[in-house]
Amino acid sequence: MVTQDEHIVKAIPAIFIMISGSQDSQTSADVFNVGAFNLPDAAGKAGGACTSTLLKVMNENPGVEMTWIELLDKMREVLAMQGYDQLPQLTASRMIDPDSRYEIVPQKSIQMRKARRAVLIGINYVGQKGQLSGCHNDVENIKRYLIKEQGFMEKDMLILMDDGKHHAPTRRNIVDAFTRLTQYSEPGDIAFIHYSGHGGRIRDRNGDEVDGYDETLIPVDFKDSGHIVDDDVFKILVKPMKRDVQVTVLMDCCHSGTAMDLPYEMDAAEGSIHTNSAFDMKKLRAPATLCCLALCAFCYLDEVVMMFL
């Protein structure tokens, strides 16, 4: 008899580990002075609290073999010391050992010279109500960290920002970036996804959320194109990703605890990981295809495709 864990592994071939900036019910903070986080050569003075905290922990512990639970605990400690009440969460597509080593690029992938790709999204909502100030800086700081400390190359990074210089973080472009990442990643490759912007909640319409709400990413053109619902992220990014691709995700936005609808969650207080009580097993039976809201995403710029070759 196939166990639930075995069914999940078969239905979600890739290894996803997501650090989110807050619980589903919480909001996250925009930091107006990242100097308090002692970031080296920080790009600008503003940033997201979750991104700044992760980088602070990593920069202050160079070469230290830290476990996933230690990383989560240290992030929560830093945020509390800075006066923030948001609680970073960790969810995953596997029943990982909380005491296993925190790795964006596993040693096995280094030895096998596997490709490393990144999608970095920063949305300040320039000129709109609710404008943010630190999301572009978050992307620049994460980019610097990935290149300097994790061996990524800028040519293999797709950056979406509403700064007039990069591809705009519209709904269509974000969906297409996720789609392209699944298409070009091969078994054993490494992927990193970073989202810094607004996150939201909308009423659950298909009955798969225990709390009655779907979590969402809010693209720059949300007024015309709507939100990107967690159900969509699961269908577009999580299920289609190829076997054994290791994907680390950093979601720095409000209401992001289960923004990818992954089946396992880590309890930092207990130091354990267990099945996410809000995970709906029916998701695994749905075909791994783009939902109707994402069908317009295939006609993206050729240069985006080239960045993943």
Catalytic residue positions, numbered: 198, 254
Token pair 């995953």 is found at: 92
Measured torsion, CA atoms of residues 198, 190, 142, 95, in degrees rounded to the nearest 10: 60
Q: Is 31 helix (H, G, I), strand (E, B) or coil?
A: strand
CA distance 75 to 58: 10
> Cβ distance 296 to 172 under 8 Å?
yes
Give every CB contact of residue 268 below 8 A, 6+ residues apart in sequence: 69, 72, 73, 76, 87, 90
> Cβ distance 194 to 252 under 8 Å?
yes
Regarding beta strands 246-252 and 190-196, do their DSSP bridges make them parallel or antiparallel, or are they unpaired? parallel
> Cβ distance 4 to 281 under 8 Å?
yes
Q: What is the DSSP string of 222-286?
A: HHHH--EEHHHHIIIIITTSPTT-EEEEEEESTT-TTTT--SEEEETTTTEEEE-TT--THHHHS
> Cβ distance 95 to 273 under 8 Å?
yes
Number of neighbours of residue 60 by Cβ within 10 angstroms? 12
